[in-house]
Structure 1
Amino acid sequence: MTYTAEPEATPGELTPLADYLGSVLRRLGALPPLDLDLTQAYGNVLAEDVYAPHDYPAFDHAAIDGYAVRWEDLSCGARTRLNVVGDIGAASWRPVRLHPGACFSIAAGAALPVGADVVVPSDWTDRGMASVEIYQSPKRGYGLRRAGDEFPAGSLLARAGGDVSPALVAVLAATGIGHVVVRPSPRVVIIATGDELVDVGRVSQPGQVVDVSSHALTSAAVEAGALAYRVGICDDDPEALRGLLEDQVLRSDLIVTTGGTGNGPGDMVRRILSRRDGGRGAVNFTEVAVYPGAVLGFGTVGAEEVPVVCLPGDPGMAMVGFEVLVRPAIQLLAGAEPVFRPSVRGHLLETVSSPSGLREFRPAQVAERRGGGYTVQPLSGGPYTLAGLAEANGLLVLGERVTAAAAGSTVDVLLLHRRR
């Protein structure tokens, strides 16, 4: 596949990216929710708000090993000797009461005796067993946690649209939650097309091109939170492509193809998918005003009307197309909010030019400046986008009306975080 370094944009023929994205994303919705066991919910997106059914901590307990005492029994600025009337371990369950002049030896996590309002660390004592001498008096409330201190019953733990992270799993488990309602991770199938394609492990040569895009897109889909499946290479054979799509619609929530979106004699994807199959939907191929880029396809396939996105075969174009269209689609299907990458504004370190009439996404290195703000170092773009993407932690965005951005100017950058 050839790549044009400076594609020409004819006014009226290209669709603005914002218009195209709006028309596509409006056709997608979040997948139906599932009730999952807490241990299986990590990485999914919550489908509803989650509230604490119980207090956390569930009961008053010692936060440290030491002696549970009444603060009134401690002598301010002087040593205090108290009788040790028992030991309380973390597994102790019988309620006990603390009387004046007495204390309990207590383990971290053990329920506080009634009347205790401070835990003296063992290091501040002589560690006595029948009686204990306290060298230093802590403040009232030291060394203990009260019921509901962190999350009272009924408090909001997490909002719908947020990720289930390991820390949130801990919070949910601590408050007595064993199941949560989440959106399932979208199942995304990646298909590479083209007679010229060969699998990785060899070098491209005349008549053979290594399939780079489907491997990269599969990794990108996993990074976006999807369950991604690369099904391999499909030749430019209409019946083979139709059969492969029929096989995949039942196992996928989104199908992504790469290659065959042009109008050349071998561009079978566009030729086959743009036809309606018995009124069951078709894929529309649109020339979008984005650079690097080309024609993008979106529609549905099969009786189940599974969404399909068709990307160019060039790896750099495909990766930018993924960021522009596929990644937001995955986020929408997953119920994640927001669906777009976070962005910052930074000071450009080098003057760059950009093709007129196209919204350019150029790889960049973003760094925080001492004292606040960001700097943006542009990397290889255009026909060398793949090289730049390998080093980038951001995508510099230059609007359709920008033909040049001077060093020192302020620009928008999408941050390429490694997770949602």
Structure 2
Amino acid sequence: MSSTADTAARGDRLWSVDEHLDDILAKIRPLEPIELQLLDAQGCVLVEDITVPASLPPFDNSSMDGYAVRVADVKGASEEFPAVLTVVGDVAAGSGELPTVGPGEAARIMTGAPLPPGAEAVVPVEWTDGGTGRGPVTAMAARGEGPDGASGEVCVHRPATARAHVRPRGSDVAAGEIALTAGTVLGPARIGLLAAIGRATVKVRPRPRVVVLSTGSELVPPGEELAAGRIHDSNSFMLTACARDAGAIAYRVGAVEDDPHVLRAALEDQLIRADAVVTSGGVSVGAYDVVKETLAGLSGDEGSVSFRRLAMQPGKPQGFGRIGPDRTPLFALPGNPVSSYVSFELFVRPAIRALMGLEPFTDRPTVRAVCTEGIASSPEGRRQYLRGHYADGTVGTVGGPSSHLVKALADANALIVVPEDTTSVEPGAELDVVLLD
């Protein structure tokens, strides 16, 4: 074997960002569809067109509190010469038996109530005396606190055209129409539409279950005191939040110490509930890089994980593979917080969307922006991702390039992309910018 081929076989060559991402997406398959209750399906992707079984609304109904009338009976009505109509009954929302409105008659009607037989329009209660016999309706009568408007007479002070203040049957959506198409993400309004047309369950690709764990014997949970040489575990919280933001159901596992046996046991315990696993730390070439040590030697039924060096900054060391009996995707990200975050955005987020049956890249648009202050240096041969703040077509860097600057990461709303062949950027030059918010 040649030295070049030997280097490639050992995984020592530099992979491009695009090569690594392409390899990941080629091995991701959308999750199998399942039937879920409506609220459990929120955030999931439909796998079937939804046809409306019955028109919505299912009957003509009133859009106002008022009186259902015949048009001819209120023609020419005015304050001086009101139309005086006999009130033959009440029609509330949900009413079954409806009074018939004949010549010279009206029925008091509530918003959403079905239009009674014989009625052609609704006059708002504000256009009447509310059945008080004392002229235009008062605020009390408008709230239904006055005398009974379902008996006696009502004075109407304005005319009404046919179908005025009436919501026609099927005016929202007609029976047989497509309410939602396959591929739709079910947000709150779409959940409401499904409920309105009578669907209790729906067939979707479920939100992937993503298990997140950090590695490192130095890690201490937030809220606990730090001993000498210890730091708080931020990565597992940040990456769990990233997974949830991407649409997954995410489970954070406590930090795992730098022990291969402990890590292997933790992974075996978590695979039963995971559609994907994300680890951070332990992927470089150090003496205690436990993730690489534990997973690089997997074979056969255990699956396999490849560890690579990428031509990027931050995030050069990366690992990806599929482990366990179900070949669950595993993403091994570097341990520095910024490296971990950038790696998630570039590689894990698209994979989560692919698991859901979505286009991988549509939720993180890339735009061109003017780099206001320029960039003094960028490593040759590596694609650099700098934290930036984007506004109105311009972008400026936030903090330096170091991978430990979490505060600068929190202040950023974009990633500035410096191409591999660019070693510096002049002020005013245009660059690609990945929008995070």
| TM superposition score category, shorter chain reference | 0.7 to 0.9
Counterpart of 2:104?
101
Q: Does structure 1 retain, via aligned residues, the 8 Å contact 2:282–2:288?
A: yes
SS in structure 2 of the partner of residue 382 of structure 1: coil
Which stretch shows the higher mean deviation, 201-210 or 380-389?
201-210
Q: Does structure 2 retain, via aligned residues, the 8 Å contact 1:332–1:339?
A: no
- Matches of 1:77 and 1:289 in 2, distance apart? 80
Whichever residue aligns with residue 120 of structure 1, its letter is: V
Give 2:270's match in structure 1, choosing from 241, 248, 254. Answer: 248
| Shift of residue 333, structure 1, vs aligned partner | 1.4
| Residue 400 of structure 2 corresponds to residue 378 of structure 1 | no
Counterpart of 1:177?
199
Give 2:387's match in structure 1, choosing from 363, 387, 406. Answer: 363
Q: Does structure 1 retain, via aligned residues, the 8 Å contact 2:49–2:178?
A: yes
- Matches of 2:107 and 2:88 in 1, distance apart? 6
Counterpart of 2:420?
400
Paired residues for 1:323-342 under 5 Å: 323-342=345-364
| Residue 192 of structure 2 corresponds to residue 192 of structure 1 | no
* Post-superposition CA distance 1:326-384 (Å, at most 9, x none): 111111112234544332333333322433322222222233x4xxxx33233124105
Counterpart of 1:63?
63
| Residue 435 of structure 2 corresponds to residue 415 of structure 1 | yes
SS in structure 1 of the partner of residue 106 of structure 2: strand
Counterpart of 2:16?
16
Q: Does structure 2 retain, via aligned residues, the 8 Å contact 1:328–1:340?
A: no
Whichever residue aligns with residue 109 of structure 1, its letter is: G
Whichever residue aligns with residue 212 of structure 2, its letter is: I
- Matches of 1:320 and 1:231 in 2, distance apart? 21
| Shift of residue 316, structure 1, vs aligned partner | 1.0
| Shift of residue 234, structure 1, vs aligned partner | 1.9
- Matches of 1:207 and 1:283 in 2, distance apart? 31
Which stretch shows the higher mean deviation, 344-353 or 303-312?
344-353
Question: How many correspondences in the alignment?
Answer: 401
| Residue 354 of structure 2 corresponds to residue 351 of structure 1 | no
Counterpart of 1:283?
305
| Shift of residue 149, structure 1, vs aligned partner | 0.6
Larger Rg, first or second structure (1 or 2)? 2
Distance 1:220-1:248 versus aligned 2 partners, 3 A rule: same
- Matches of 1:288 and 1:340 in 2, distance apart? 24
What CA RMSD, in Å, does the superposition of the two structures yield over aligned residues? 2.3
Counterpart of 2:315?
293
Whichever residue aligns with residue 386 of structure 2, its letter is: R
| Shift of residue 139, structure 1, vs aligned partner | 4.0
The two structures have a TM-score, normalised by structure 2, of 0.85
Counterpart of 2:162?
140
| Shift of residue 206, structure 1, vs aligned partner | 5.9
- Matches of 1:212 and 1:111 in 2, distance apart? 57
Counterpart of 2:141?
none
| Shift of residue 38, structure 1, vs aligned partner | 1.4
Q: Does structure 2 retain, via aligned residues, the 8 Å contact 1:348–1:407?
A: yes
Paired residues for 1:124-139 under 5 Å: 124-128=127-131, 129=149, 130-139=152-161
Q: Which runs of 5+ in 1 are unaligned?
A: 1-11
| Shift of residue 248, structure 1, vs aligned partner | 1.4
* Post-superposition CA distance 1:61-85 (Å, at most 9, x none): 0111001122333324744333322
| Shift of residue 207, structure 1, vs aligned partner | 3.8
| Residue 59 of structure 2 corresponds to residue 40 of structure 1 | no
- Matches of 1:160 and 1:388 in 2, distance apart? 40
Counterpart of 1:210?
232
Counterpart of 2:279?
257
SS in structure 1 of the partner of residue 217 of structure 2: coil
Q: Which runs of 5+ in 2 are unaligned?
A: 1-11, 132-148
Whichever residue aligns with residue 389 of structure 1, its letter is: L
